[in-house]
Amino acid sequence: MSSTLLPKPQMRGLLGKRLRFHIVGALIVSLGSAVLYKYGVAEPRKRAYADFYKNYDSMKDFEAMREAGVFESVQPKDS
Amino acid sequence: QMDAPGCGRDGLGLLATQEDMSVPQYCDKRSYPLPDVPYHKDLGAEQKALKEKEKGSWKQLSNEEKVALYRLKFNQTFAEMNRPSSEWKTVLGGVFIFFGFTGLIVWWQRVYVFPPKPHTLTDEWKAQQVKRMLDMRVNPIQGFAAKWDYDKNEWKK
């Protein structure tokens, strides 16, 4: 057993310190995940949709699907 | 039904002998650090002398005497009573053994119990299914048909 004194431990402000650490951390994690989602998922998706519909010819797409024979209301043109 | 925490009702199932529960008990418990009675109640002659010396200034006690006084009052130190055990190896081993046994049972079931696979899982059917999904333009923006190159008739690189 040693007879040297240990340093006096932290006696006060323990809850406050814990709260500050966790509140700051929670803010960072939640804001960070929101920002990541926005710029990782939402913006690319909006751009993908905009690009798809920029030069989209729905009638041409419809004719292609009709030829492939997936519709019941219209048949392929030469049948 | 558990009453107030103390040395008596330890709920841990560690007591094997018939103790007299009407008198205070000694116990080594992390949740009850100062037991109701010292570990050694009946002291020999030199132990009694040591207890007398304890009544004076503790600076005149040597380290061995301090340890002896501790061991008179307590059975195990916190380090000793909280020592880790190898029980987790037994638990994990038992868990894996049962996983393996279950795997054998499932394998036997696959061979002897399961009916034949549906015809919709054959390769030709799955190819026709994929072609039909591409013809229908399933999810053409970010999903299935978006990955197909309709001009070159192949999957996009």
Instruction: Kindly report, residue by residue over B47-66, the tens digit of the pLDDT.
Output: 999 999 999 999 999 999 99
What does the alpha-carbon distance between residue B87 and residue B99 come to, in Å, rounded to a whole number?
19
pLDDT number for residue B16? 62
CATH (domain of A57):
4.10.93.10
The phi, psi pair for A53, rounded to 5°, reads -85, -5
Residue A55 located in a structural domain: yes
Q: Is residue A19, in this structure, part of any structural domain at all? A: no
What does the pLDDT read at residue B5?
66
Domain annotation covers residue A63: yes
Match 């009638």 to its residue by tokens. Answer: A59
Number of separate domains in chain A: 1
CB-CB under 8 Å, A69 with B135: yes
**pLDDT greater than 90 at residue B17:** no
| Domain-located, residue A50 | yes
Q: Does A45 touch chain B (CB under 8 A)?
A: yes
Write out pLDDT tens, residues A8-61: 999 999 999 999 999 999 999 999 999 999 999 999 999 999 999 999 999 999
**Residues B7 and B24 sit within 8 Å (Cβ to Cβ):** yes
ipTM of the complex: 0.76
The answer as to whether A6 is a domain residue is no
* Residue A3 belongs to a domain: no
Confidence check: pLDDT of A1 > 90: no
Sole residue written with tokens 């197909």: B148
What is the model's pLDDT at position B136? 95
Structural domain boundaries enclosing A64:
40-70
Give B104-143 pLDDT, tens digit per residue. 999 999 999 999 999 999 999 999 999 999 999 999 999 9
Q: Is residue A44 part of a domain?
A: yes
At residue B148, φ and ψ (nearest 5 deg) are: -105, 135
> Which tokens in the block code for residue B109?
């079931």
Weakest-pLDDT range from A8-12, B11-15, B20-24:
B11-15
Query: Residue A69: left if φ>0, alpha if ψ -120 to 50, beta else—which one?
Result: left
A59 touches chain B (CB under 8 A): no
Question: How many other CB atoms are there within 10 angstroms of residue A73's CB atom?
Answer: 5
Q: Identify whether A17 is part of a domain.
A: no
Q: Find the CB nearest A65 among B67, B135, B141.
A: B135
> In whole numbers, what is the pLDDT of chain B averaged over residues?
91
Q: What was the pLDDT predicted at B35?
A: 94
C-alpha–C-alpha distance, residues A10 and A13, integer Å: 8
